[in-house]
Amino acid sequence: MPTHKSADKRLKTSKRANEVNKQIKTHIKTLIKRTEASPEEASFKQTASALDSAARRGVIHPNKAARIKSRLAKLGQKKEPPAGQ
Domain ranges of the chain: 32-76
Q: Where are the beta strands (DSSP E) in 1-85?
A: none
Q: What is the pTM of this model?
A: 0.81
Tell me the per-residue pLDDT of 13-68, one tens digit each, with 9 for 90 and over.
Answer: 999 999 999 999 999 999 999 999 998 999 999 999 999 999 999 999 999 999 99
Separation of alpha carbons 83 and 46, rounded Å: 25
